[in-house]
Structure formats: structure tokens, C-alpha cells
A and B are shown apart, each in its own frame.
Chain A
Amino acid sequence: MRCPECGTLMNKHAEKPVMVTGDEIILAIHCCPKCGKVESEELSGI
């Protein structure tokens, strides 16, 4: 994933299972090493 602010390749540092309307998904968290921007990405559940 590229940072929407500066275009730098973001670092995925976390995954967390969360419930969204009754379905479990994995929320992946990415951080920009240049500007610190945080982005999340929804992945299919385990």
C-alpha cells in the first residue's frame, strides 16, 4: 500500500480480527515510514 499523502511504500505492522456487521474480518494496519500516516485495510477473515 502506498501512502496517500506522500506516495511512500507503507509498512504493515498489525493485523487485528474485528467484527463488521456480524462477520469477522481482519483489519490490517499500515504506517508510512516517512510521514507517519496511518491506513487500514480490510482483509477476509481467518
Chain B
Amino acid sequence: MSQTRPLSIPVILGTTRKGRMSSHAAQFMWDELRKRDGIVTELIDIRTLNLVVDDAGEAIKDPRFSEAMERADAVIIVTPEYNHGSPGLLKHVLDSCHKEYIHKPAGIVGVSAGPFGGSRVIENLLPILRELGLVSIFWDVNFGNVYKAFDPSGQLLDEAYIRRAAKFIGELIWMAKVLRYGREQVTL
């Protein structure tokens, strides 16, 4: 097994809105991930991608995003919950790739102003991830009442999220190792 290569696990910040509290959650998850050995990671802010909105799918691929997804052994998707769903532009970005995702694990971090921590948007995303070829893990991180989880500067106010993130990242890394072995060594 080629575990000599570090695992590549990008974090996708899935909203472009002004004042987005999800940026604090994405930064926190990225910081926690960077504490692990054997991981290379980058924070991908979908606001920075060059995707037109008058076409869709692979026709509009952003080379940077596509290359990051191809290199990835797993992805973390940080999404707010807007009217029980994900931001339309996050779906637009995810739809721009396909072969890059197949048999790679995805963990979802939900963010909401209310108490449910994005649990509805996470459920909403699962069938989409499946169709894209991604494999969902069974840990989520739920940032409910996000205005109490971070101060306006992004400082974490509830240290329980450190333990929750550790469990989530541990599961994601396990899945990333196993599925990399499968992609590279187990023939269909």
C-alpha cells in the first residue's frame, strides 16, 4: 500500500455569502486537520473559484478545484444550512467534477444559526454525495447556534468542538486510508 504519500484532505468552505459564520467553522476544521501527521490539506473557499453560472457540470471545471479533488484522498465539506438546504453555489461547484471523487470519503460539517447544527442540510447532501461517487462517513460535526460557538473574530468559544472534530477527523482518516488502498490495489 502506498501509504508513504501523505493523505490529501482539502476542506471546502461551501458558501459565498457576506458575513458567513461557516468561514470560522472551516478555518477551525482546517486548523484541527493540520495538527495531524501525514496529512496535506488546503482550504478551498468556493468564493475564489472561477465558475460561470450559465453552464454546468464538467463543462465549467475550475482547474484548481478539479486538481485538488483528483489529489484528494478525502474531503471535508463545510456547509451552512439555508432554508433546510445547501447553498446553490456549493452544489454548482460539486457538480463540476465526477471522476475525481469516486470511492473517496467525504465528511460533512453543518453550520446553522439555530439549534440543529445543519443536520437537515447534511441529510440533504447525502444522496448527492452518493451520486457523485463520494462515500459518506458516519461522523458529522454540527455547529448549532453558531453565533455562540465562535466570537465575531472566529475565536472558538466552546472547546467541546475540539473533541468532536477529533472524532470526525479520526474516522475520516481511517476511511481515507482504506479507500485509497481499495482504489489503488483492489481491482473491480
Contacts and interface: CB of A to CB of B under 8 A. Distances in A.
A38 B102 CA distance: 9
- Is chain A's interface secondary structure helix, strand, loop, or mixed overall? strand
B6 to A, nearest CB: 11
Given A29-B103, A33-B2, A36-B5, A11 B187 contact: yes
A16 B102 contact: yes
Interface residues of A, number: 19
A15 B102 CA distance: 10
B2 A31 contact: no
B184 A36 contact: yes
Contacts of A15: 188
Contacts of A2: none
Given A14-B133, A27-B99, A31-B184, 10 more contacts: A13-B184, A14-B188, A15-B188, A29-B133, A32-B184, A34-B2, A36-B71, A37-B70, A38-B102, A39-B99
